[in-house]
Structure 1
Amino acid sequence: MRDIIKCPKCNFQCKRSYSVGRHLLAIHDATEEDIEAFRAQLVASRALKRHGGGAWKCDKCQKLFASQRSLDSHIKKEHTKLLDPSDISLFPDDSSTSSPPPKIWKNSREEESCTSWMIRSKYSKENEFTNYYNCRHDGHYESVVQKLDKPKSIKLTGEYHCPAFLKSTKNEETGKITVVGFHGHYGHDLKNAWRSLNEREISIIIRMMTDGFSNSQIIKKCEKFPPENRLSYIIHDDLRYLRKKYNLQEGVLDENDLASVKKRVERGWKEDGILMFQEPDELGAGLRLVLMTPSQKELCLKYHHRGIVIDDTHNTTKYGIKLTTLMVLNGFDRAIPVAFLLSSSCTSDDCAALFQCVKNEIPTFHPQWFMSDEANAFWNGYNTIFPNNKSQRLWCRWHVLRALEKNCDEMLTKESSADVKKTISELIREPDRVKFDRGILSLLEFLEKDGTRGQKYAEYLRSYYLKHVEVWANCYRSKTPFHTSMYSENWHSALKKDLLHRKTNIRLDELIQVLLDGFQWVIRRLAKQMERQLKKACPRRNANLKNCQLAIDQQDHYIVTRNQNGDLELMKKESGDVYVVRDDLGCACFSEENVHCLCGACAYRFTCSCQVQLGGICCKHIHLAIRHCQENQSMEEAEDEAVPFRNFDVPGPGPQYFDVSDFLDVPVREESEKMYNLFSQSIDNLAQKMRMIKKKPGNEETMQKVLELIQQANDLFPKGKAPTLVSRRDSQGARKSARETMHTLPRRQKRHPQYSKKRGTRIASKHDPSICNVCNLRDPILPLDMNEIEPDALDTDWRRCVSCKLPVHFLCSSGSCPSCGDNFENYQPSDSEVDQVSSDSSDEMP
């Protein structure tokens, strides 16, 4: 219902403002200025009543309106300027003047006026076809969320009505195209960043995609355009949309997967980093592809001396291909992938091919530490290419503990399993070799007295781990930057989750592109974290800062003294436990990239006798010792670099940045489907049996017979001459995530689930365990010419080390002590009391 309008000079009332104006002219002899003032006052009152604000004024004619919609409608009707068709016709009457093609003209006009069109309507009449375009920012945007009872969504750039339009008419008989339009805009800014890509700009991007450029490379090229060009505002979302729309997957150069990889190899771009490519045979075996870009080579050359981490993973493509990643640590102890190996298998020869390519690029490749799991393929391949290397091999602590605890549950009784696992978990972190050897001998003596089950587990320890104790015990790996291979596990997890988006059946050429982009993704992420000073940028420095604050809070609980060797001894007042902190006078950390604490603590320079042994992280005892020295030393002592606990290095000034075939669907009969299912089950059972017999020695002949039978079965099928990649059996189904692919079977239950509920206690170390420190046996191995029933064979003669007092058999005492290198003396074992080993777990853990 309309409001009643009153005359400002009498009691006349009416519903129309026009009638009130005529009344003012006829009755009150009002002038035009009075009428305009009355109308302005009326509009202002209506605006105040509708939205509580003032009126809107037209910039063209200064007319007032009570609402924005009224102003938009006025501009669109009254101020739309039609251009003369003769001025913009693409085919003027003068035949001597050449006009550009319609698409080129339209694209150029859009770029000049920052205009983006959307088709409003199409219609045809006789031989003429007409398209009517509106400005892309015209009107309100009706979102689909209205179906969900949500409020309306309005585009930020399309809040007002824009009068710009374009009308094109094409005559099919004469070919003449006539365009009428208006390029004046209202209600939004004219910015190239807001304009849609036109056909010319899309064609430029499509050409770069078909040439094999990645999304990152395309964006890098487009950033070189001036700001007036729409291509300079391209982002990854635009490129992903175009690739999906035109079916141009990143890294795909051919419909055939293997042919696409060959084209990438043949073009020879340095950015691809392909150092080696070996085609697979007709059965899909023998594939080898090594990747190392120039940026990866630069980082590997800088950081390889600190150590490398290598591991493999599977289910990254739809083929049975394994991905092996070689990683290094930068100065902030963050892992960076520097080389990739894609191969049909992961044998010593495959790993040797990887390291041969690395040696060709970096002849001085000499890492101090070599971290991997217990598989020998990586280490054997490395030794093949670098036979005289001085690298120290390391096994992943997590994998070792997992294997030891699993077999402990399977072999031992539930009464002793928890105690043995507790003892092993503490011994593997023991930094002192003498204490470690004493604990191992005491553990073996405990197992020998635990019956048949314990003796079986003791033999398992001797056979698999005590012969290689230097690769998994902490006392042999002091100052290593890593104790586990979790760097590789973290990278493979991020690759499958963040880069592959949990897809496990992609093409090989797509995986190659993902790996190249993944390296850049890691570098950009590290650079952004360092720029924002996040804790994730350097987690180990953050842990050092926490331990330093913990040391400040607990410094009154310790007494610090210096021993004869110059080391600092920290005695805890409550328990009397003593921890020894040693200074090795300097570290090999970078001056601008390190994990040093603000007090100067560095895990690669200082060592502690406690069991808090984490790569790159100093325990609280080291921080206590350093702060004690800083508070009590003089200026002259601080300048002497030859004295321990002097001249502490503080963290660097800041971060460092890096530049870094289609298959036909054939109907399958029901009988064939049953036979194929039976075949798949038989293959799975055969593979499981092969995995079981390969663990036991002496089954090589059986495995060879099985392989010959399989080869005879393969000979029944026609052989292809061309090389091919064999897909996994599960790759043709629906897309699955990596977790779904790897965990298709139900989770196996633990044989003794009640073990985890019981917290074990450590088996105490004895002064004189009746286990030899050389052969790790209770009774010595007799010479071949001695009978077991002879009197000399029944009695065991013992000797022990002069320094560490660890016992050895007389037959094993030909050399020096393996723990401390001292000589032996005669001695007779006795049932002595156990060694008082500190078990203050609350003090050892920060």
Structure 2
Amino acid sequence: MPNIACLVCGKVFCTQSNVNRHVREVHHQKPKPISYAKDMHRFKCMEMVDNDYCDKSFNKKENLITHLNEEHSKNFEILETVGTNIDEKPKRIDLLTHEDVRNIKNSYNIENANGKRHHNDATSVHLWVQECNNKTTGENPIIFYKPQESEEDGFKKEDFCLLIMNSFQKSMLLKFGKNIIAIDGTHGLNGYDLDLVTLLVIDEFNQGFPVAFLFSNRKDTFIYTFFFDCIRDNVGIIQCKTFMSDMEGAFYIGWEKIMGPAQHTLFCSWHVDRAWQCNLSKIANKEKRANVYQALKILQQKTDEGNFQKCLINFVHFLNGDSDTAEFGKYFRENYCSNFTKLAYCFRNNCGINTNMHLESMHKIIKYFYLEGRVVKRLDKGLNAVMKYLRNRSVSRYIDLNKGKNTKQSRLNFVRHNKALNSTYSLVINGDVYTLEKPPQDSSTIQEPYCVTKLNTPRCCENSCSCCGICRHMFSCSCPDFTNNNVICKHIHYVVLHIKNLNIVSSHTPLVEMNECVKILSQDTSEDRTNSSKVSDVYIQHLLN
């Protein structure tokens, strides 16, 4: 809100009407044209410094709070401690003032709570890097540092580059890097044109963990290739199964050049959708725009490769055949027809990842929790927030390993388990392949059957169901819920419950239709049932409902 000053006494008001009322009632004058007091601020620091006020003013309450936390709280704690132990014959430390504390902090580069070691940002970052380099090899997280104005092969003089990867991050990359690698960049952690690029893996709890950070002003293939080259020098070659990035392609070009090709290269679904939304403005007709977007989402979510390719050809012909959609058709043809395997769901079956939500979540936590949603202009503060997040995330993982973790994946698996209890399917069995068909509600509706295959794999991960005693790698299913959402779908739960119920009847009973199994189990009316029999009755009741 504007600060409007009274021309008579200089008092500041928020609105013109308040100024006019003040002039009439206090000065008994006719209001004159107002002027904006640009040099005046609404929030003033009233803390005492050496028997005088701090006398600093701010135009926002948040800036005043930051000033109080950074400039006064720690200094006054020191002064309060010293002031309680003054003798009759004072020593030099008893005469400590606010300015003395500030000078000592600047002289000895004592770290503040926000990571600020020097009033100059570049010097502050350089001091932090020096502190890290003075640590032992296993404790130093810096794997490369190039400040501006320094000479380095392949870099320009004005380039800045900082690579961070501590020993725990290295161990996480070696342990989980062979499965999924995700990478993305974000801005807003400093007031310069320096982006934070994060390399991330997915652990056994299906949680993302950052394994390397890059701060740089460059956003090209060279810097990403150099980034991966430094990582290879520290941990060796990482051959991943799935590599997910944005749609620019520079990330994967650098990865493939250093680490080799990945089995699956995927675009983040959110990035694809955002690109479509931005370019749909090429279609002027709103109705056609909505129809094209709906067709795009249907095409993206196809789970059958043959069906997808037929639909893709028809969709491109449809776009090119209409003058209103021809421009968007040209954009789609140039950007996606050669990369369709990176965006369609049918080509990411069992990849274990669909979006970069782990990276998005991490960046939001850093910005809105560690930086409290404020726009940070200093790089040292952004670095401090990133290192705090890394430390707390490492501690959180240690706690999860020792106490166990109720993950989102386990909650989703439990929901699917309950759905299986309330479902009814016609089950046809052929060896280790189970075909589930939903009974049609009327003669005109026929639903697609799903095939569940039992794999010869022991329980090996935390993506499991404690009720069924299985993990996701023990079965596979043809449904999109299993292939795209990285969960144990309700069809697998249904089959496992069927197998358990058969084992209760007899370990030698041949596999039959599910309806026959329920009929056999329902004949048990003995009053002397064991606890295990009572448990099986609960399952039967759910299956019959």
Question: TM-score band, normalised by the shorter chain?
Answer: 0.5 to 0.7
Q: Give the whole-Å Cα distance in 1 for the aligned partners of 2:118 and 2:158.
A: 23
CA contact (8 A) 1:253 1:263 kept: no
**Mapping of residues 25-424 of structure 1, within 5 Å:** 170=88, 243=112, 249-250=114-115, 252=117, 256-264=123-131, 266-269=133-136, 270-281=138-149, 285-386=158-259, 388-411=260-283, 413-424=285-296
SS at match of 1:370: strand
> 1:538 aligned to 2:403?
no
Identity of aligned residues (%): 22
In structure 2, runs of 5+ residues without a counterpart are: 1-83, 92-100, 151-155, 511-545
Say if 1:544 and 1:617, in contact at 8 Å, map to a contact too.
yes
SS in structure 1 of the partner of residue 449 of structure 2: strand
Conserved 8 A contact 2:228-2:255: yes
Task: Give the letter for the 1:279 counterpart.
Answer: P
The answer to whether the aligner puts 1:518 opposite 2:401 as a matched pair is: no
- For residue 333 of structure 1, give the secondary structure of its aligned residue in structure 2: coil
CA shift for structure 1 position 569: 3.2
1:559 alignment counterpart: 426
CA spacing shift, 1:626–1:168, aligned 2, 3 Å = closer
The match for 1:463 is 334
User: Which residue pairs with 2:94 in the alignment?
Assistant: none
Partners of 1:267 and 1:309 in 2: CA distance: 31
1:632 equivalenced with 2:502 (yes/no): yes
* CA distance in structure 1 between the aligned counterparts of 2:416 and 2:330, rounded to whole angstroms: 40
**Under a length normalisation based on structure 2, what TM-score does the superposition of the two structures give?**
0.65
How many aligned residue pairs are there?
401
Q: Paired residue for 1:429, among 301, 306, 309?
A: 301
Structure 1 residue identity aligned to 2:171: E
| Conservation of the 8 A alpha-carbon contact between 1:285 and 1:344 | no
Output one character per residue of 1:285-327: Cα deviation in whole Å (capped at 9) or x when no partner.
3211111111111111111112111101112012221111111
Residues 613-666 of structure 1 deviation map (CA, whole Å, 9 limit, x = unaligned): 54321332332233233333664699xxxxxxxxxxxxxxxxxxxxxxxxxxxx
**Distance between the aligned counterparts of 1:280 and 1:499, measured in 2?**
27
Equivalent residue of 1:305, what SS?
coil
1:497 aligns with 2:415: no
- State the shift of 1:337 in Å: 0.9
Name the CA distance, whole Å, in 2 between partners of 1:296 and 1:167.
46
**Conserved in 1, the CA contact under 8 Å of 2:181 and 2:202?**
yes
Q: Alpha-carbon deviation of 1:601?
A: 5.4
One-letter identity of the residue aligned with 2:220:
T
Q: Deviations over 1:449-499 (max 9, x none)?
A: 4x2123433333222112111111111111112101111111001011111
Shift of 1:276: 0.8
Distance in 2 (CA, whole Å) between partners of 1:565 and 1:169 is: 86
State how far apart, in whole Å, the 2-side matches of 1:510 and 1:168 are: 36
TM-score with structure 1 length normalisation? 0.43
The whole-number CA distance in structure 1 between the counterparts of 2:162 and 2:457 is 37
What is the rounded CA distance, in whole Å, between the counterparts of 1:167 and 1:492 in structure 2? Answer: 46
**Matches of 2:486 and 2:144 in 1, distance apart?**
35
Q: Write the distance in 1 (CA, Å) between the matches of 2:179 and 2:346.
A: 19
Partner amino acid for 2:492? I
Q: Deviations over 1:414-448 (max 9, x none)?
A: 33333332232233222211222232233334434
Picking from 434, 437, 441, the partner of 2:313 is: 441
* Residues 320, 568 of structure 1: alpha-carbon distance in 2 compared, 3 angstrom cutoff: same
Mapped partners of 2:420, 2:377: distance in 1: 51
Decide whether aligned partners of structure 1 residues 455 and 564 sit closer, same or farther in structure 2, where only a CA change above 3 A counts. Answer: farther
Q: Greater shift after overlay, 336-345 or 459-468?
A: 459-468
Structure 1 residue 504: Cα displacement: 3.0
Do residues 453 (structure 1) and 324 (structure 2) align?
yes
1:620 aligns with 2:490: yes
Structure 1 residues 548 and 570: CA distance shift in structure 2, 3 A: same
Supply the distance in 1 between the matched residues of 2:458 and 2:212 (Cα, whole angstroms): 24
Separation in 2 of the partners of 1:589 and 1:364?
28
- The one-character-per-residue Cα deviations of 1:674-694 (angstroms, maximum 9, x if unpaired) are xxxxxxxxxxxxxxxxxxxxx
Contact 2:272 2:343 in 1 (8 A): yes
Per-residue Cα deviation, 1:690-738 (whole angstroms, up to 9, x for no partner): xxxxxxxxxxxxxxxxxxxxxxxxxxxxxxxxxxxxxxxxxxxxxxxxx
Residue 288 of structure 2 aligns with an amino acid whose one-letter code is S
Which whole-Å deviations, capped at 9, do the CAs of 1:95-140 have from their partners, x for residues lacking one?
xxxxxxxxxxxxxxxxxxxxxxxxxxxxxxxxxxxxxxxxxxxxxx
Instruction: Give the match's secondary structure for 1:578.
Output: coil
Separation of aligned partners in 1, 2:127 and 2:299: 52
Amino acid at match of 1:598: C
Q: Structure 2 counterpart of 1:432, which letter?
A: D
SS of 2:498's equivalent in the other structure is helix
In structure 1, how many angstroms separate the alpha carbons of the residues matched to 2:388 and 2:306? 48
More helix by share: 2
From the superposition, tell whether residues 299 and 533 of structure 1 become closer, same or farther in structure 2 (CA, over 3 Å). Answer: closer
Q: Structure 2: which amino acid aligns with 1:499?
A: Y
Is 1:473 aligned to residue 344 of structure 2? yes
Tell me how far 1:251 sits from its aligned partner. Answer: 6.2
Q: Distance in 2 between matches of 1:296 and 1:504?
A: 28
Name the aligned partner's letter for residue 127 of structure 2: S
Q: Is the 8 A contact 1:551 1:621 kept in 2?
A: yes
CA distance in 2, matches of 1:607, 1:427: 23
Contact persistence 1:583–1:607 (CA under 8 A): yes
Give distance in 2, aligned partners of 1:509 and 1:428. 42
